[in-house]
């Protein structure tokens, strides 16, 4: 298999701006349908490279159609210890991509949304550029340094996860952070705002969850 730069996993959550996501999917991307996320792929007119999960929320007719086309399908039992997304992330990591997008992993069920966010803290994801996207927002983990591309006025929230996070500095945000510690039981990092077309975050210790809200006319975070 050729080297893959980006793997895009489609999950069965909310896709708030399908057109924006579609515009950023490239022909060289490896597409994984995670269970009912197959419907998002089909609605966008795309073809999955892999369908994975227990398939309880995927239409049987769609599964049969793609199976007849020779699409790789990996079905797991409904009774298992991992979510379908966790299993799909394991499959994505075997491809050793630079970037992993998880599309439509937010919304609908709060337990699934939180579980999907916490999956970002997996130690084996360190070194990979992993984003949860829905076409209007981008959720990713800051491990060290990160840059956000967007437009002035867009909302950026920084939430410490798994404990306090020591922020060295931020640039390009309305409310700068300089040698401050953010705590999970405090709301200091909520609802900041971009003042330029890009912003930078550098942390010394801990993990920061960055939630970047953008319009469908702007670039996602990176």
Task: Examine the domain organization and report whether 75 and 157 are in the same domain.
Answer: no
pLDDT per position as a tens digit, 143-198: 999 999 999 999 999 999 999 999 999 999 999 999 999 999 999 999 999 999 99
> Can you give the three-state secondary structure of the chain, one letter per residue?
CCCCCEEEEECCCCCCCHHHHHHHCCCCCEEEEEHHHHHHHHHCCCCCCEEEECCCCCCHHHHHHHHHCCCEEEECCCCCCCCHHHHHHHHHHCCCCCEEEEECCCCCCHHHHHHHHHHHHCHHHCCCEEEEECCCEEEEEECCEEEEECCCCCEEEEEEEEEEEEEEEEECECCCCEEEEECCCCCCCCCEEECCCEEEEEEEEEEEEEEEECCCCCCCCC
Task: Examine the domain organization and report whether 22 and 119 are in the same domain.
Answer: yes
Q: In this model, does residue 1 exceed pLDDT 70?
A: no
In a domain, 218, yes or no: no
pLDDT per position as a tens digit, 49-77: 999 999 988 889 999 999 999 999 999 99
Task: Examine the domain organization and report whether 113 and 204 are in the same domain.
Answer: no
Task: Examine the domain organization and report whether 11 and 48 are in the same domain.
Answer: yes
Task: Examine the domain organization and report whether 99 and 166 are in the same domain.
Answer: no
Burial 158-175 (b: 16+ CB within 10 A, else e): bbbbeeebebeebebbee
Task: Examine the domain organization and report whether 112 and 147 are in the same domain.
Answer: no
| Token couple for 116 | 């999907």
Task: Examine the domain organization and report whether 129 and 178 are in the same domain.
Answer: no
Task: Examine the domain organization and report whether 157 and 122 are in the same domain.
Answer: no
| Token couple for 83 | 């979510």
Is the pTM above the cut of 0.75?
yes
Q: What is the CATH number of the domain that holds 209?
A: 2.60.120.320
pLDDT-derived band at 2 (thresholds 50, 70, 90) equals: low
Q: For residue 150, what are the contacts with CB-CB under 8 A and spacing of at least 6?
A: 194, 197, 198, 199, 212, 214, 218, 219, 221
In a domain, 53, yes or no: yes
Domain count along the chain: 2
Task: Examine the domain organization and report whether 84 and 177 are in the same domain.
Answer: no
Half-sphere exposure of residue 40, counting CA atoms within 13 Å on the CB side?
A: 30
Of 135, 155, 176, the domain-final residue: 135
Of 91, 111, 135, the domain-final residue: 135
| Torsion sign across C-alpha atoms 85, 87, 132, 44 | negative
Q: What is the arithmetic mean of pLDDT over 6-33?
A: 95
In a domain, 14, yes or no: yes
Of 88, 108, 135, the domain-final residue: 135
In a domain, 38, yes or no: yes
In a domain, 32, yes or no: yes
**pLDDT in the model for residue 214:** 85
Task: Examine the domain organization and report whether 85 and 166 are in the same domain.
Answer: no
In a domain, 109, yes or no: yes
- Taking the C-alpha atoms of residue 90 and residue 122, their distance in angstroms, rounded to an integer, is 11
Q: What is the CATH number of the domain that holds 91?
A: 3.40.50.10240
Q: In this model, does residue 219 exceed pLDDT 70?
A: no
Neighbours of 180 (CB within 10 A): 14
Domain interval for residue 90: 6-135
Task: Examine the domain organization and report whether 124 and 161 are in the same domain.
Answer: no
| Torsion sign across C-alpha atoms 218, 133, 38, 6 | positive
Mean pLDDT across the chain: 92
Task: Examine the domain organization and report whether 64 and 123 are in the same domain.
Answer: yes
- Taking the C-alpha atoms of residue 141 and residue 130, their distance in angstroms, rounded to an integer, is 8
In a domain, 221, yes or no: no
In a domain, 1, yes or no: no
């Amino acid at each position: 298999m050729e080297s893959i730069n980006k793997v895009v996993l489609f999950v069965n959550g909310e896709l708030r701006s399908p057109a924006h996501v579609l515009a950023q999917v490239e022909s060289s991307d490896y597409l994984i349908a995670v269970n009912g996320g197959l419907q998002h792929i089909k609605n966008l007119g795309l073809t999955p490279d892999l369908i994975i999960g227990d398939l309880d929320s995927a239409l049987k007719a769609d599964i049969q159609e793609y199976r007849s086309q020779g699409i790789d399908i990996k079905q797991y039992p409904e009774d298992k210890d991992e979510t379908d997304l966790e299993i799909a992330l394991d499959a994505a990591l075997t491809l050793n991509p630079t970037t992993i997008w998880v599309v439509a992993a937010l919304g609908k069920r709060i337990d699934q949304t939180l579980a999907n966010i916490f999956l970002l803290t997996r130690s084996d994801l360190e070194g990979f550029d992993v984003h949860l996207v829905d076409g209007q927002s981008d959720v990713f983990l800051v491990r060290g340094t990160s840059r956000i591309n967007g437009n002035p006025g867009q909302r950026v929230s920084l939430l410490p996860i798994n404990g306090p996070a020591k922020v060295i500095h931020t640039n390009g945000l309305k409310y700068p952070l300089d040698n401050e510690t953010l705590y999970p039981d405090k709301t200091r990092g909520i609802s900041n705002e971009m003042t330029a077309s890009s912003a930078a975050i550098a942390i010394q210790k801990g993990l920061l969850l960055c939630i970047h809200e953008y319009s469908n006319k702007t670039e996602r975070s990176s």
